[in-house]
């Protein structure tokens, strides 16, 4: 059975790590909250397992731990934040909070972030809007790690996108995905275990489908979700999170692993819609509830006993994690203990 850790202990430990790495206490709390919330959802690939990557990016100079986000421009319904090459999370929370405040007055608002770094799971930010009874959409570009139809190699990021919608009695609808056919973590896992993978997940050095992950990611590349459709949406995210914010796009965005010491120049984009400004909020929420119930009650496929709405799995895992502790995978514990040792932080909170 997986070892469990209380979210509050994990937050305390992560705050200590990030303060030791040079962040202010406020920024360290924000980063820890994003990573631990993600772990409570069971999205372990983008939770605290990445703690060493962030610490290494700070050590290499890719991320400036003291880089403070600043407002670079705004209008009544939009804003752009310059993250000053600091951690992505504080700048992205600042942008989402601004978009929420502007949507309260303007119904629709957009905020972008440039000169940014990895922001973790997109869903954290989309759900910030839901706490204010608004619809949130969050996206980021990523360093090129995906092929596009007709190409070979790393051409575009598997740019993540999330949306969250407030409901009434039901839990918010909440989709949070990357635009590759599968997350990189699944390919790394198959490679580590020496397993073959479906030929739809990656292409080889020639740009052809392969079921052998041995040479990935050095040669070969992830494939887009649903072929040209995932590619097209990834490109939209380059436009909204990259070009429109003044951040890097495509090859201008640098990987913290392949280009240690270089700034990432990532961009993020946040859209907020305030339903209460358009129609009675309770009517909207009840309508969402009825959509969720209709989906739950759709005829089941043979052998299926349940239909999920996006986000439902995450809310159930979070409820369990808050009650019984987070069942963190061994990989996450290993990264956390190693970060503790590297930075001289007491690891007893993890035991």
Ligand X SMILES: NC(=O)c1ccc[n+]([C@@H]2O[C@H](COP(=O)([O-])OP(=O)(O)OC[C@H]3O[C@@H](n4cnc5c(N)ncnc54)[C@H](O)[C@@H]3O)[C@@H](O)[C@H]2O)c1
Q: Which of 58, 183, 187, 321 binds ligand X (CB under 6 A)?
A: 183
| Residue 43 binds ligand X (CB under 6 A) | yes
CA Rg, the chain, in Å?
Answer: 20
Q: Classify each residue of 167-187 as buried b or exposed e, where b means 16 or more C-beta atoms within 10 Å of its C-beta.
A: beebbbbbbbbbbbbbbbeeb
- Binding piece for ligand X, criterion CB under 6 A, among 104-112, 173-181, 188-196, 231-239: 173-181
Which C-beta is closer to ligand X: that of 185 or that of 280? 185
Residue 119 near ligand X by CB under 6 A? yes
In the sheet that holds 209-210, the strands lie side by side as: 209-210, 202-203, 221-222
Helix (H) or strand (E) holding 269: strand 266-273
Per CB under 6 A, 308 contacts ligand X: yes
CB nearer to ligand X: give 16 or 180: 180
**Segment interacting with ligand X, rule: CB under 6 A, options 56-64, 97-105, 170-178, 323-331:** 170-178
Which of 17, 178, 241, 345 binds ligand X (CB under 6 A)? It is 178
Q: How far is CA 90 from the centre of its chain?
A: 14
- Residue closer to ligand X, measured from CB, 118 or 285: 118
Using the contact rule CB under 6 A, the part of the chain among 79-87, 127-135, 275-283, 311-319 near ligand X is 311-319
- The 3-state DSSP class for residue 80 equals strand
Q: Give the C-alpha separation, 238 to 142, whole Å.
A: 9
Please pick, from the candidates 15, 122, 147, 326, the single residue that binds ligand X as defined by CB under 6 A. Answer: 122
135 bridge partner residues: 273
Q: In what order do the strands lie in the sheet with 135-140?
A: 70-75, 78-82, 108-116, 266-273, 135-140, 161-165, 173-177
- Among 233, 291, 313, 331, indicate the residue that binds ligand X (CB under 6 A): 313
Smallest separation (angstroms) from ligand X to the CB of 98? 20
DSSP assignment letter at 48: G
Query: Least distance to ligand X from the beta carbon of 160, Å?
Result: 3
Q: Which of 116, 117, 127, 158 binds ligand X (CB under 6 A)?
A: 158
Question: Do 143 and 283 touch, CB atoms closer than 8 A?
Answer: no
Tell me, by CB under 6 A, how many residues bind ligand X. 25
Scanning residues 133 to 152, which ones bind ligand X (CB under 6 A)? 140, 142
Which value, to the nearest 10 degrees, does the dihedral of the CA atoms of residues 127, 128, 131, 133 take?
-80
The candidate with the shortest Cα–Cα distance to 268, out of 117, 167, 60, 52, is: 117
For 24, the token pair is: 């202010």
DSSP per-residue letters across 220-259: SEEPBTTTHHHHHHHHHHIIIIIITTT---GGGS--TTTS
Supply the minimum distance, in Å, between the C-beta of residue 213 and ligand X. Answer: 16
The answer to whether 55 and 21 are in contact (CB under 8 A) is yes
Which residues between 206 and 265 bind ligand X (CB under 6 A)? none
> Is residue 46 at the binding interface for ligand X, with CB under 6 A as the rule?
yes
Question: What DSSP letter does each residue of 83-95 carry, written as one string?
Answer: -TTS-HHHHHHHH
Residue 204 makes contact with ligand X by CB under 6 A: no
If residue 209 lies in a helix (H) or strand (E), which one and from where to where? strand 209-210
Which stretch, 163-171, 310-318, 321-329, 338-346, contacts ligand X (CB under 6 A)? 310-318
Stretch that binds ligand X, among 41-49, 164-172, 208-216, 317-325 (CB under 6 A): 41-49
Using CB under 6 A as the binding rule, whether residue 267 contacts ligand X is answered as: no
Of 69, 90, 160, 325, the one binding ligand X by CB under 6 A: 160
> Among residues 47, 310, 325, 340, which is the contact residue for ligand X, using CB under 6 A?
310
Closest CB 268 distance from ligand X, rounded Å: 9
Binding region for ligand X (CB under 6 A): 43, 45-46, 118-123, 140, 142, 158, 160, 162, 174-178, 183, 308, 310-311, 313-314
């Amino acid at each position: 059975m997986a070892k469990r850790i209380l979210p509050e202990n994990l937050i305390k430990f992560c705050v200590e790590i990030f303060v030791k790495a040079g962040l202010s206490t406020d920024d360290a709390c924000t980063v820890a909250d994003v990573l631990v919330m993600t772990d409570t959802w069971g999205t372990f690939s983008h939770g605290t397992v990445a703690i060493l990557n962030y610490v290494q990016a700070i050590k290499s100079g890719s991320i400036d731990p003291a880089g403070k986000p600043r407002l670079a421009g705004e209008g009544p319904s939009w804003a752009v934040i310059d993250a000053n090459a600091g951690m992505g999370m504080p700048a992205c929370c600042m942008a989402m909070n601004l978009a929420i405040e502007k949507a309260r007055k303007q119904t629709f608002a957009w905020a972008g972030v440039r000169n940014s770094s990895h922001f973790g799971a997109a869903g954290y930010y989309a759900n910030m809007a839901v706490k204010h009874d608004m619809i949130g959409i969050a996206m980021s570009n990523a360093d090129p790690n995906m092929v596009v139809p007709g190409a070979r190699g790393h051409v575009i990021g598997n740019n993540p996108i999330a949306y969250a919608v407030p409901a009434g009695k039901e839990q918010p609808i909440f989709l949070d995905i990357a635009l590759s056919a599968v997350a990189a973590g699944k390919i790394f896992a198959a490679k580590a275990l020496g397993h073959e993978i479906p030929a739809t997940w990656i292409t080889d050095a020639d740009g052809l489908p392969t079921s052998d992950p041995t040479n990935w990611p050095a040669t070969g590349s992830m494939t887009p979700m649903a072929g040209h459709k995932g590619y097209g949406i990834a490109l939209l995210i380059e436009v909204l999170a990259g070009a429109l914010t003044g951040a890097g796009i495509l090859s201008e965005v640098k990987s913290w692993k392949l280009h240690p010491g270089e700034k990432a120049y990532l961009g993020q984009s946040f859209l907020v819609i305030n339903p209460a400004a358009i129609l009675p909020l309770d009517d909207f929420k009840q309508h969402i509830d009825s959509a969720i119930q209709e989906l739950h009650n759709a005829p089941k496929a043979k052998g299926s006993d349940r239909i999920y709405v996006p986000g439902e799995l995450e809310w159930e895992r979070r409820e369990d994690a808050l009650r019984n502790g987070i069942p963190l995978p061994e990989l996450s514990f290993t990264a956390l203990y190693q970060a503790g040792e590297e930075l001289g932080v007491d690891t007893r909170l993890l035991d």
